C-alpha cells in the first residue's frame, strides 16, 4: 500500500530528499532510500510499509527492555519490515534485513485503529514500536500513536536513534518513552558494522531527554568490538552526562546474521561493564540476555525494590515510586 511520506522535500529535477532519518537520502525517481521501504514515484516520496504489520505480540515491557516504564505491565508490540541500518550482527535480521526493493512487502493489514483496539482488548498499557526500526515506518507509527493517546494508551519506541530532530519534534507529543541502542562509541564501528554514524545517535538521546521523553539505553556487548574498558567508560560517561537517572542495559551478544565469527559475550565482560556504569555515576545498570542482575535497587540504600526473574517480576516493594525503606524517589514512569 502506497502512503505518501512525511518529512521530505521535492527537488527540481524530480528527485526528493527524505528528512526522516539521519541518512538524509536524496532519492531519484524510481529509486529507494537506504531503508528500502521508501520510494520516489514521479517526484513524490511514498512509504511502502504503511498498514502492513510483520509482527504483533503482547510482550512484558521488560522485554523491550524497559525497567523503569510501568514495570510489570504489558506492551502491544508491532513492527513492519525494514531498517535504516545494515548491522552485520542484527538480532532480528529475518524481518529487518529482508529484501524490499521491488519485492512484495511481507506482512498483514492492520489499521492504526485496529492496533489500538487490540492493545486495549489485551490489557496492554502501551504500544511499543519495536523489533525493527520504527523510524522507517514513521507515518504508520505516528498515526497509531495519535489514536493510542486519544484512547489513554502510552507509546514507546525501541530504536537505533538514527532519526532527525525534525522527526523527534513531530512525534514528541505522542511519544512517552524510548529505548535507544547505543551500539558503540566509535565512528568506525558505526560505519563498518552498521552503515551509519555515531553523532546522530548521541544527538537523539540528548534531544529525547531534553524533550521529557523517558529514555533508557541498551548496548549489545560484542566481544572484541565494543567491550574495551576505554569504550565502555566513554559510553557510561556520555549517558551520565545526559542524565544519571537513565537506565543502561548491557546485553549479551550471541552470533547472528552474518556476524558469526565470534563467541557469546562472557559474563565477566557484562559484570565489568556494570561496574564501569556504576562507577560513572549511573543509578541503574542492568545486564541483559542473562538471568543475573535484573533487580531494581534503591540508589540510596540498596534496598531491592523490584525483583525480577527473566522478564517476570517476582517481588515489588515500590510505594508510589519511592523506596519502601528510605523514601528515595525512584526515577522512571510508574
Range of the domain at 8: 3-47
What's phi and psi for 260, nearest 5 deg? -115, -5
Phi-psi region of 178 (alpha: psi -120 to 50; beta: other; left: phi over 0): beta
At 326 the pLDDT is 95
Gyration radius (Cα) of the chain, Å: 20
Number of separate domains in the chain:
3
pLDDT tens series, the chain, 334 aa: 799 999 999 998 999 999 999 999 999 999 999 999 999 999 999 999 999 999 999 999 999 999 999 999 999 999 999 999 999 999 888 899 876 555 667 899 999 999 999 999 999 999 999 999 999 999 999 999 999 999 999 999 999 999 999 999 999 999 999 999 999 999 999 999 999 999 999 999 999 999 999 999 999 999 999 999 999 999 999 999 999 999 999 999 999 899 988 899 999 999 999 999 999 999 999 999 998 889 999 999 999 999 999 899 999 999 889 999 999 999 999 9
Tell me whether strands 154-159 and 177-181 are parallel, antiparallel or unpaired.
parallel
At 193 the pLDDT is 95
Q: At what angle do helices 199-210 and 229-242 cross, to 10 degrees?
A: 30
264 and 323 housed in the same domain: no
**Longest distance between any two alpha carbons in the chain, whole Å:** 66
Bridge partners for 46 per DSSP: 4, 39
Bridge partners for 75 per DSSP: 59, 126
At 102 the pLDDT is 56
Bridge partners for 179 per DSSP: 158, 216
Q: Distance (Å, rounded) from C-alpha 7 to C-alpha 285? A: 36
Q: Which residue has the cell 554514524?
A: 197
At 60 the pLDDT is 97
Report the alpha-carbon angle 111-137-198, nearest 5: 160
Q: Distance (Å, rounded) from C-alpha 254 to C-alpha 48? A: 31
38 and 187 housed in the same domain: no
3-state secondary structure of 314: strand
56 and 184 housed in the same domain: yes
What's phi and psi for 41, nearest 5 deg? -120, 110
106 and 247 housed in the same domain: yes
At 137 the pLDDT is 97
**pLDDT tens readout for residues 249-297:** 999 999 989 998 889 999 999 999 999 999 999 999 999 999 888 999 9
167 and 39 housed in the same domain: no
Q: Which residue has the cell 505518501?
A: 4
93 and 206 housed in the same domain: yes
34 and 59 housed in the same domain: no
What's the predicted TM-score (pTM) here?
0.96
| Under 8 Å between Cβ of 96 and 54 | no
C-alpha separations of 251 from 12, 183, 222, 288 in Å: 46, 11, 9, 4
At 177 the pLDDT is 98
124 and 255 housed in the same domain: yes
| Under 8 Å between Cβ of 130 and 181 | no
Looking up residue 142, the CATH number of its domain turns out to be 3.20.20.70
What's phi and psi for 149, nearest 5 deg? -60, -40
At 45 the pLDDT is 98
68 and 163 housed in the same domain: yes
Q: Which residue has the cell 519485492?
A: 103
112 and 172 housed in the same domain: yes
Q: Which residue has the cell 525494590?
A: 305
DSSP sequence for 161-173: --B-HHHHHHHGG
Tell me whether strands 248-252 and 214-221 are parallel, antiparallel or unpaired.
parallel
3-state secondary structure of 120: helix
144 and 267 housed in the same domain: yes
Tell me whether strands 248-252 and 285-288 are parallel, antiparallel or unpaired.
parallel
Bridge partners for 142 per DSSP: none
138 and 215 housed in the same domain: yes
Nearest residue to 333 (alpha-carbon basis) of 131, 146, 126: 126
Amino acid at each position: 500500500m502506497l502512503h505518501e511520506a512525511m518529512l521530505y522535500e521535492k527537488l527540481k529535477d524530480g528527485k526528493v530528499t527524505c528528512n526522516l532519518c539521519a541518512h538524509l537520502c536524496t532519492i531519484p525517481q524510481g529509486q529507494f532510500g537506504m531503508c528500502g521501504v521508501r520510494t520516489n514515484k514521479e517526484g513524490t516520496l511514498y512509504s511502502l510499509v504503511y498498514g502492513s504489520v510483520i509482527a504483533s505480540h503482547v510482550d512484558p515491557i521488560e522485554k523491550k527492555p524497559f525497567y523503569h516504564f510501568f514495570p510489570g505491565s504489558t506492551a502491544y508490540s508491532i513492527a513492519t519490515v525494514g531498517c535504516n541500518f545494515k548491522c552485520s550482527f542484527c538480532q532480528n535480521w529475518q524481518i529487518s534485513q529482508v529484501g524490499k526493493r521491488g519485492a512484495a512487502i511481507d506482512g498483514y493489514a492492520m489499521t492504526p485503529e485496529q492496533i489500538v483496539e487490540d492493545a486495549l482488548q489485551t490489557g496492554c498499557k502501551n504500544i511499543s514500536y519495536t523489533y525493527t526500526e520504527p523510524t522507517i515506518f514513521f507515518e504508520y507509527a505516528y498515526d497509531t500513536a495519535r489514536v493510542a493517546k486519544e484512547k489513554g494508551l502510552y507509546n514507546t519506541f525501541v530504536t537505533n536513534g538514527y532519526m532527525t530532530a525534525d522527526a523527534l519534534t513531530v512525534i514528541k507529543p505522542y511519544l512517552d518513552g524510548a529505548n535507544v541502542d547505543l551500539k558503540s562509541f566509535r565512528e568506525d564501528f558505526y560505519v563498518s558494522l552498521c552503515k551509519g554514524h555515531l553523532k546522530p545517535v548521541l544527538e537523539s538521546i540528548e534531544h529525547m531527554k531534553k524533550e521529557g521523553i523517558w529514555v533508557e539505553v541498551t548496548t549489545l556487548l560484542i566481544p572484541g568490538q565494543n567491550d574495551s574498558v576505554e569504550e565502555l567508560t566513554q559510553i557510561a560517561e556520555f549517558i551520565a552526562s545526559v542524565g544519571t537517572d537513565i537506565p543502561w542495559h548491557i546485553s549479551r551478544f550471541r552470533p547472528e546474521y552474518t556476524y558469526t565469527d565470534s563467541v557469546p559475550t562472557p559474563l565477566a565482560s557484562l559484570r565489568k561493564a556494570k561496574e564501569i556504569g556504576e562507577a560513572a555515576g549511573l543509578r541503574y545498570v542492568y545486564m541483559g540476555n542473562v538471568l543475573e542482575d535484573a533487580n531494581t535497587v534503591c540508589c540510596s540504600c540498596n534496598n531491592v525494590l523490584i525483583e525480577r526473574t527473566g522478564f517476570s517480576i517476582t517481588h515489588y516493594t515500590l510505594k508510589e515510586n519511592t523506596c519502601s525503606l528510605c523514601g528515595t524517589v525512584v526515577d522512571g514512569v510508574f
